[in-house]
Structure 1
């Protein structure tokens, strides 16, 4: 039932996006470009409706980043771009491991 509802919504949105993306000769150039881009990327914009594995909101992603934002706020950010880049990579790896439930990764790595 849920997938049927998503399919209905998908079709509704495709129809609306197709209507919005019609380029008129009177459209300013920037608007025409945006409409063309919209029409070309409709399937990408609606992936959350066509693939039930993708949540309809990004609430979980926002919540998973909250502690990182607080850490940055408490430590007054990063002093250099290099530090910020290193922290971003490290935290990305740690979050990926956490989401995959691979908590013992670093312990196993150190034993090798």
Structure 2
């Protein structure tokens, strides 16, 4: 985690933005695990691997959004307006990138064997 933080802080040249990106990792992983539990499916090794892959997708998307929020904020928009505009600008690219990966990981995530 420290190594990832150092790499992201060098990339962003800031200490707050890597924290925002790193918070998305465990939240995405917990969401996938809780989704399995709430649907009554057992947690298996393949499903945990797929959940980790989905957390990676969320992390990549968070990096993109943080970068575009930063760009819009520097252009003079407020924090909320910058976030809304970044979401509008990058939603299609994030969807196009994430959809095939999610479709490929989904069969593993839906694995019901122990």
TM-score class normalised by the smaller sequence: 0.3 to 0.5
Larger Rg: 1
* Greater relative contact order, per chain length (Cα 8 Å cut-off, separation 6+): 2
More helix by share: 2
